[in-house]
Amino acid sequence: MKKTSFAALLFLAPLVAGCGALVGSFVPPQTFNNPANLDGAQLSSSSALQPAAVKGTLSYDTSKTTPPSPFDDLKYPDNVPFGIRPHAMKLEASFTRAVVSGSCTFPNTINLTVKSFSATVSDANGSATLTTEPNLSLTLTKAESSLTSATYTFAAHRIAVAANASTTDQAIRVLTTGGQNHASASAQVLADQDQLAGCYIRFTLGETALTLSNFS
């Protein structure tokens, strides 16, 4: 797969439609690693986990990092016929580890479900959001701990979130107009131990990749 930043999306996103489905059908799906520099991003709960059962929302936003880390619109590439744009996209993301912190008990294992996952691109003029409800079950195993936090590992996995034509078209507009862009990601999680209530949890994203397809 071609390794580049999320800005490379614009390589495949011309502002002017044209050329038609016939030419677009010859453009194979294009996959880009590390979209919006999400590799290594940390999705953190902004408030303490709530009981019955323990649940919380984790988030990451390039506009709220210190300092903020926007990325620019890019230009159309030479290697894709002018006027061709994708009408479908799929974002794949992996979680590599979790850190639980706060004044709670850190169990040796945690059964946790990722109920939903979403990713958004935005600029001054609008936004586009890809979302899915994977109901992904994870078994977190404590690898190390201190008095205030514990690090957990789990089996490798990936979450895939797809966009339809209208969402893809909106994302392309965001990424080709309006200047600087931001990306954010969020997940809703549910754990099976009430003793985690009052703590905070942070997931680290591993490799992320975006595939664009259905060109016309």
DSSP calls for 139-190? EEEEEEE-SSEEEEE-----EEEEE-HHHHHHHHHHHHSSS-BEEEEEEEEE
Kindly provide the b/e burial profile for residues 146-158, where b requires at least 16 CB atoms within 10 angstroms of the residue's own CB.
eeeebbbebeeee
pLDDT at 186: 92
Bridge partners, 114 (sequence order): 136, 189
> Rounded to two decimals, what is the model's pTM?
0.78
The vertex-174 CA angle with 62 and 181, nearest 5°, equals: 25
pLDDT at 20: 45
Nearest to 172 by CA among 34, 23, 17, 21: 17
Query: Other C-beta atoms within 10 Å of 114: how many?
Result: 21
Q: Which two tokens stand for residue 169?
A: 């078209």
Q: Is 213 or 153 the better-scoring residue by pLDDT?
A: 153
pLDDT at 31: 79
Q: Is 72 or 137 the better-scoring residue by pLDDT?
A: 137
Percent of the chain with pLDDT over 90: 33
Least confident range from 22-31, 60-69, 94-103: namely 22-31
User: pLDDT-derived band of residue 178, with 50, 70 and 90 as boundaries?
Assistant: confident
Q: Following DSSP, what letter does each residue of 3-63 receive, concatenated? A: E--GGGGGGG--SS--SHHHHHTTS--EEEESGGG-TT-EEEESS--BTTTEEEEEEEETT
Least confident range from 52-56, 61-65, 114-118, 127-131: namely 52-56
Gap between the Cα atoms of 92 and 2, Å rounded:
15
Gap between the Cα atoms of 132 and 40, Å rounded:
21
Gap between the Cα atoms of 167 and 75, Å rounded:
20
Least confident range from 4-18, 79-93, 102-116: namely 4-18
Per-residue model confidence as pLDDT tens digits over 52-68: 567 788 898 989 888 88
Q: State the chain's mean pLDDT as an integer.
A: 80
Percent of the chain with pLDDT over 70: 81
Gap between the Cα atoms of 87 and 105, Å rounded:
47
